């Protein structure tokens, strides 16, 4: 489980590294299922014990921060002084040393069951479904995966927070395609999410303003023979283009949510926990009440349609232990559930600032504690 690093045992240290080296580190750490700061720490410890390292081109370096065990930062600086090289060069050589010792694993076989599908849902609004789904999508893309992020909430918070406009009423949209009311290729609606080390790997399918009508129309339209399959049918052709598809869902228990849950089910031939539901919550009681309703909906859907839908785990969002007993006891309750806590996202200003600036978190503050947790969650849901 990931928790914010304590200043007592970790020290935030800045550096300037070329973008290519930063990206290679993030991808390789994800491939080896280790935290970036642990990879850097291991690289420094190995670097100080070997005297001859080739010089790394650090020109065009940009800000990079990580968290090192107390004392290791000072050890690195002292060794750089002895070797008469800059601190940034020492950091770059340490990272290069770790990368060379951890080559990229061979890619696995193509998945016969399509892209992996992650549904971010909870009946309660305001728990952070949008922030968590966006952050995890960015982290997966940063690790070299091809990721499609779908704003499936008619409120369109995800679309607007990333600086895009919602699709207008009466125009082609995901909802219109699901209802058989749109022609053309759904791919034409997808837009790239720019910025950060995830660029060219992350795309968004924006929300549409008339998606509020989707529940009612799914219940009555003749164009959809089995309403639960409406989403899967229109996304089927897109799956070959992506490794992962993530849905930011509305706080609803209606037919729209049924289509999302069905889409995230374990398909025939797919191993368990390859796809499923991620439940963002907060450390307070109403999140638990909302999850109970979602759990009942999942159970009913599984029983009615004879399918298996995995709950992959919880993300405790906006956690602040300074809120006292309510926060700490609620966190204990989530940790005692059968499903794991995938991560604990601290209550810090960076996420709110990124939303205000309409920028992705991992582009705005890629080295903040919240971004670190998003990467850890991304690794855990990948298994």
Which of 101, 136, 154 corresponds to the end of one domain?
A: 101
Tell whether 305 and 160 lie within a shared domain: yes
Does position 306 have pLDDT exceeding 90, yes or no? yes
- Dump pLDDT digits (tens) for 50-101: 888 899 999 888 889 898 998 898 999 999 999 999 999 999 999 999 999 9
Handedness of CA 360, 363, 367, 373 (dihedral sign): positive
Shared domain for 208 and 295, answered yes or no, is yes
> 188: domain CATH number?
3.40.50.300
- Does residue 273 lie in a domain region? yes
* 3-state SS, residue 275: coil
CA pair distance 43, 68, nearest whole angstrom: 11
Confidence of residue 3 (pLDDT cuts 50, 70, 90): very low
Cβ atoms of residues 281 and 314 within 8 Å: yes
Instruction: Give me the domain span that covers residue 232.
Output: 116-382
Q: What is the model's pLDDT at position 113?
A: 66
According to the model, what pLDDT value does residue 108 have? Answer: 55
CA-angle at 338, arms to 336 and 344, nearest 5°: 60
Give yes or no: residues 315 and 374 share one domain: yes
47 inside domain: yes
Query: What is d(CA 237, CA 144) in angstroms, rounded to the nearest whole number?
Result: 21
- Tell me the pTM: 0.85
Residues 66 and 199 reside in one and the same domain: no
Residues 194 and 326 in one domain: yes
The answer to whether residues 357 and 273 belong to one domain is yes
Percent of the chain with pLDDT over 90: 61
Q: 36 and 174: one domain?
A: no
Radius of gyration of the chain (CA): 22
Q: What is the mean pLDDT of the chain?
A: 89
What is the number of alpha carbons within 13 Å of residue 251 lying toward its C-beta? 17
Q: Residue 224: inside a domain, yes or no?
A: yes
Last residue of a domain, one of 101, 129, 156: 101
Query: How far apart are alpha carbons 222 and 275 in whole angstroms?
Result: 29
Query: How far is residue 20's CA from residue 3's CA, in Å, rounded to a whole number?
Result: 28
| 216-231 mean pLDDT | 74
Length of the chain, in residues = 383
DSSP 56: P
Answer whether residue 107 is part of any domain.
Answer: no
**Total of domains in the chain:** 2
Considering only CA atoms, which of 120, 103, 66 is closest in space to residue 366?
A: 66
């Amino acid at each position: 489980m990931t928790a914010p690093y304590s200043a007592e045992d970790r020290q935030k240290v800045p550096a300037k590294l070329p973008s290519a080296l930063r990206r290679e580190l993030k991808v390789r750490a994800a491939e080896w299922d280790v935290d970036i700061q642990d990879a850097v720490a291991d690289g420094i410890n190995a670097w100080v014990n070997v005297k001859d390292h080739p010089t790394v081109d650090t020109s065009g370096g940009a800000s990079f921060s990580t968290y090192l065990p107390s004392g290791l930062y000072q050890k690195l600086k002292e060794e750089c002084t002895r070797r008469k090289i800059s601190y940034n060069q020492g950091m770059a050589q340490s990272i290069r040393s770790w990368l060379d010792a951890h080559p990229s694993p061979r890619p696995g076989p193509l998945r016969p069951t399509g892209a992996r599908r992650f549904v971010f849902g909870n009946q309660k609004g305001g728990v952070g479904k949008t922030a968590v789904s966006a952050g995890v999508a960015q982290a997966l893309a940063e690790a070299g995966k091809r990721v499609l992020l779908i704003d499936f909430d008619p409120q369109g918070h995800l679309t607007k927070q990333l600086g895009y406009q919602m699709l207008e009423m009466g125009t082609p949209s995901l909802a219109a395609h699901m209802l058989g009311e749109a022609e053309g290729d759904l791919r034409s609606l997808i837009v790239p999410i720019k910025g950060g080390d995830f660029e060219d790997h992350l795309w968004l399918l924006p929300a549409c303003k008339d998606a509020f009508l989707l529940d009612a129309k799914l219940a009555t339209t003749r164009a959809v023979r089995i309403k639960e399959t409406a989403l899967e049918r229109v996304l089927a052709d897109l799956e070959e283009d992506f490794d992962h598809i993530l849905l930011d869902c509305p706080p609803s228990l209606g037919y729209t949510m049924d289509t999302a849950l069905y889409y995230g089910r374990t398909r025939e031939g797919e191993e368990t926990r390859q796809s499923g539901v991620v439940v963002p919550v907060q450390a307070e009681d109403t999140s638990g009440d909302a999850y109970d309703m979602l759990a009942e909906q999942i159970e009913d859907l599984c029983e009615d349609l004879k399918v298996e839908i995995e709950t992959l785990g919880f993300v405790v969002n906006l956690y602040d232990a300074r809120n006292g007993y309510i926060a700490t006891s609620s966190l204990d309750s989530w940790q005692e559930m059968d499903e794991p806590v995938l991560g604990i996202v601290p209550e810090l200003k960076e996420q709110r600032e990124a939303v205000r600036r309409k920028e992705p978190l991992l582009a705005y503050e890629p080295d903040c504690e919240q971004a670190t947790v998003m990467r850890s969650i991304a690794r855990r849901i990948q298994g």
